[in-house]
Amino acid sequence: MVRNAARYAVAKLPRYTSYPTAAEFGPEVDAGTYGAWLDALPAETELSLYLHVPFCAELCHYCGCTTTAVKRYGPVADFVEVLALEIGLVADRLADGGGERRPVTHIHWGGGTPTTLSGADMEWIGNLLKERFDIRADAEIAVEIDPRRVGEKHLAAFRALGVNRASVGVQDFDPVVQKAIGRIQTIEETRGAIAGLRAAGVEGVNVDLVYGLPYQTPEGFSRTLQEVVAMAPDRIALFGYAHVPWMKRNQALIPEAALPSTEERLIFAERSAAELTAAGYVTVGLDHFARPDDPLAQAAAGGDLHRNFQGYTTDRASALLAFGPSAIGSLPGGVGRPGGYVQNHATVGPWRAAIREGRLATTRGAAVDADTRLDAAVIERLMCALSVDLAEVAVAHRRCPSRFAPSLPAIDRLAADGLVVRSGWKLSVPVEARAFVRHVCAVFDGYRRDLPQRHAAAV
């Protein structure tokens, strides 16, 4: 049993999709840094590619993504042209004049709404990736979709490009909640989109849900869960709404008085998890659920689950190349080989200007040294497996386990409240404390600052 649960639930903590987190990125990592890291990347390194489409047809009130609402296709067409230039710029850098195509095991289209692009433009960019990179036959090619904005031409493009996984945004089916968050989406639209994806050969379908939205009730959200389960998605992501209107101005349209309390958010998380596991889904990490035969569930069971800016993943590529405004990538470091995180200009204008001038658009990031890689490994294991053997991780990084000794008093204080169990160097988060795993991660976060405005509530 977790003691002082309400106090822990309101604490402001990162989501730890990376470490260091994006809040720690700075201008000391720039286009020159990224270029040097690309130059040092060994030719055999397997790559993951991320394409950020920064447009939506309309901006939902709750959205925390980097995106802009567009009414005309002109800005989108211009973006596609510049995106193609950026892909060529990076591919040329990696080829170093030799024409060699680097191996790719994973492609993710995110946003925004990737299907803001026409089916023809998605197919053009996808074919360009095939020309410039060696896309492996078993690569996962994933796309995020708004079921209200996917048509037959998009589905045809998905089939042509070999898209084999799609994430379908739902959030909540309650009409009152939908009106409050500025996203009207019917059950029929969603069901039809999923059927279309299946018919187009998309084998893996994910559904994204959000709790903690205005006017939500546990009973109403339970009805949404029942509708979603009936659609038989392979994975369900259950995110807690992050209310950060000081960072995302559109969230100021959310009526704060209608947001669920901390205690109610805890009920949402716990009851929803119980309902999904009762429906046959396996709990994966902090907030994902998957069918037992899904690769994500199998990776979790085998200790091979990973975490990146797209959430939990089976992607094992050590390098992530990111394209588009605000997109975040990462390059592995090693002995004599620096690496870390890079992020493009956040807005379209400066990103476009840099690429058209033949320059990489990196404007910020974080270099990762050996100590940071060690802490990152601990945080990722906690987020993915809810357990970690500190001694094992230390030895794998050629360090002494005593490196973690200063962290143990803080761990023991969390253990006294039921958030973690410690046996020597081994830590495990009890099932009932899963929602609080980020508190355990924060113990190993050397960058953490007590600045509440930087992050949303922990639960």
Q: What letter represents residue 78's amino acid?
A: D
Q: What letter represents residue 433's amino acid?
A: A
Grouping H, G, I as helix, E, B as strand and the rest as coil, residue 61 is: coil
- CA 88, CA 402: separation in Å to the nearest integer? 46
Where helices occur in 294-369 by DSSP H, the ranges are 295-301, 348-356
Compute and round to an integer the Cα radius of gyration of the chain. 21
Contacts (Cβ under 8 Å, ≥6 apart) of 331: 34, 37, 38, 41, 319, 320, 339, 340, 342
Task: Please confirm whether the linkage preceding 112 is cis (ω < 30° from 0).
Answer: yes
Q: Which two tokens stand for residue 4?
A: 């002082």
- pLDDT for the residue numbered 451: 42
106 forms beta bridges with: 48, 140
Instruction: Calculate the CA 20 to chain-centre distance.
Output: 15
Q: How many CB atoms lie within 10 A of CB 402?
A: 11
What is the pairing mode between strands 235-240 and 288-290? antiparallel
Instruction: Calculate the CA 280 to chain-centre distance.
Output: 24
- Secondary structure element (H or E) that encloses residue 34, with its range: helix 31-39
Q: Angle CA(272)–CA(275)–CA(276) in degrees, nearest 5? A: 85
- CA 16, CA 19: separation in Å to the nearest integer? 6
pLDDT tens for the chain, residues 1 to 459: 888 887 888 888 888 998 999 999 999 999 999 999 999 999 999 999 999 999 999 988 888 888 999 999 999 999 999 999 999 999 999 987 667 899 999 999 999 999 999 999 999 999 999 999 999 999 999 999 999 999 999 999 999 999 999 999 999 999 999 999 999 999 999 999 999 999 999 999 999 999 999 999 999 999 999 999 999 999 999 999 988 888 888 888 999 999 999 888 888 989 999 999 999 999 999 999 999 999 999 999 999 999 988 889 999 899 999 999 999 999 987 767 789 999 999 999 999 999 999 999 999 999 999 999 999 999 999 999 999 999 999 999 999 999 999 999 999 999 999 999 999 999 999 998 998 999 999 999 988 754 444 445 556
Instruction: Calculate the CA 3 to chain-centre distance.
Output: 30
Q: Are 205 and 229 in contact (CB under 8 A)?
A: no
Q: Is 422 exposed, middle or buried, given 0-12, 13-18 or 19+ CB atoms closer than 10 A?
A: middle
Q: Are 311 and 288 in contact (CB under 8 A)?
A: yes
- CA 362, CA 360: separation in Å to the nearest integer? 6
Topology adopted by domain 1-11+369-459: Arc Repressor Mutant, subunit A (1.10.10)
Contacts (Cβ under 8 Å, ≥6 apart) of 238: 209, 210, 211, 269, 272, 273, 276, 287, 288, 289
144 forms beta bridges with: 167
Residues of the chain with CATH 3.20.20.70: 21-320
Grouping H, G, I as helix, E, B as strand and the rest as coil, residue 17 is: coil
- CA 290, CA 276: separation in Å to the nearest integer? 9
Q: Are 420 and 414 in contact (CB under 8 A)?
A: yes
Residues of the chain with CATH 1.10.10.920: 1-11+369-459
- CA 217, CA 183: separation in Å to the nearest integer? 18
- pLDDT for the residue numbered 444: 96
In eight-state DSSP terms, residue 402 is G
CATH of domain 21-320: 3.20.20.70
